Structure 1
Amino acid sequence: MRTVDFSPLFRSAIGFDRLFDLAEAAQRAGEETYPPYNIERLDENRFLISVALAGFSPDEVVLTVEQNVLTLEGHKSEKEGKTFLHRGISARHFKRQFTLADHVEVKGASFENGLLVIDLQREIPEAMKPRRIAINGAVPSNVAQIESKAA
């Protein structure tokens, strides 16, 4: 049995740490790998998930988000009266789930050329961003918001 070590990916992944845990658990459980997908990092807080859905139309795919879980389901409508000599394009139903990190939101999704592209954005609330606290006796001009990138 072939195993994959995802630990090097934890260092460079922002917002998808738990996703790698799920991928590793899925590999151990022998879960099927359909439909194939890519996760692309555009910058520190933006990600794209591209899912290959050849043969599906947008109305046969449902995308939902609930409590940091992004769920993608596909239900292929079968047309009666078709006789296949060879059937290589999958027409099976599927359900794939992605666990999103805290403060990662789905900004949109588009379906083009057989690819479903899901745009994700990490937005840290102002209350959670680091800020400098004034210390009694300090000169007031030293008090300012710290400009930093969220981890």
Structure 2
Amino acid sequence: MNRIDLTPLYRSSVGFDRLASLLDNTLRGEQSSGGYPPYDIEILDENEYAITIAVAGFERDELDIQTEKGVLTVRGRKADTDKERNFLHQGIANRAFERKFNLADYVEVTDANMSNGLLTINLVKEIPEAMKPKKISIGQADTKTIEHQSEKSEKVA
């Protein structure tokens, strides 16, 4: 297991502890999940994204989607079946899973849909008006005020 030492990042920066823990958790999470279930992350537009997860064999009520503190968590848990099944070969995974995705600031889940064994979660990045860049117009100085001040300085001299 290759481990990245993030200690220099903690020593030489202030306020980036969330970034360091994000990197650390991501590296640790990828190793534990084993790549199941497979997923795609797609850019739909400048501020729109979609995460598509292959959830073949799962019903809608066996899936759980939650967001908390900038982390999107998708869980799948198969319901217990009363029937005893006798397989000659079982290649379709029916195991429980948990997938986590770190969301950037202002990224929110808008909706989720399931079709043909694919769960698609749509996200949008909505920057608040207060955080958007503002154009500041440059006005012209009041010439009367400047003339008035120069007349005062001539009277004093």
TM-score of the aligned structures, taking structure 2 as reference length? 0.69
Q: Which residue of 2 aligns with 1:39?
A: 41
User: Per the alignment, do residues 31 and 93 of structure 1 end up closer, same or farther by CA in structure 2, a change over 3 Å counting?
Assistant: closer
SS of alignment partner, residue 65 of structure 1: strand
Q: Give the Cα–Cα distance (whole angstroms) in 2 for the partners of residues 101 and 133 of structure 1.
A: 28
Say which is worse superposed, 129-138 or 58-67, in terms of deviation.
Answer: 129-138
Q: Which residue of 2 aligns with 1:61?
A: 63
Higher relative contact order (CA 8 A, sep 6+): 1
Q: Which residue of 2 aligns with 1:124?
A: 127
User: Per the alignment, do residues 30 and 59 of structure 1 end up closer, same or farther by CA in structure 2, a change over 3 Å counting?
Assistant: closer
Q: Which residue of 2 aligns with 1:113?
A: 116
TM-score of the aligned structures, taking structure 1 as reference length? 0.71
Structure 2 unaligned spans of 5+: 3-18, 143-157
Q: Which residue of 2 aligns with 1:93?
A: 96
Q: Give the Cα–Cα distance (whole angstroms) in 2 for the partners of residues 117 and 29 of structure 1.
A: 23
Please give the per-residue CA displacement for 1:7-60, whole angstroms capped at 9, x wherever unaligned: xxxxxxxxxx99x94796148745411110000001110000000001111110
Count of residues in Structure 1 that have an aligned counterpart in Structure 2 = 124
Structure 1 unaligned spans of 5+: 3-16, 140-151
User: Per the alignment, do residues 68 and 76 of structure 1 end up closer, same or farther by CA in structure 2, a change over 3 Å counting?
Assistant: same
Q: Which residue of 2 aligns with 1:146?
A: none
Higher share of residues assigned helix: 2
- Larger Rg: 1 or 2? 2
SS of alignment partner, residue 90 of structure 2: coil
The two structures, once aligned, show a CA RMSD in angstroms of 2.8
* Displacement of 1:78: 3.1
Percent same amino acid among aligned pairs? 46
Q: Give the Cα–Cα distance (whole angstroms) in 2 for the partners of residues 63 and 28 of structure 1.
A: 19
Counterpart among 42, 54, 73 of residue 52 in structure 1: 54
Structure 1 residue 84 and structure 2 residue 90: aligned? no
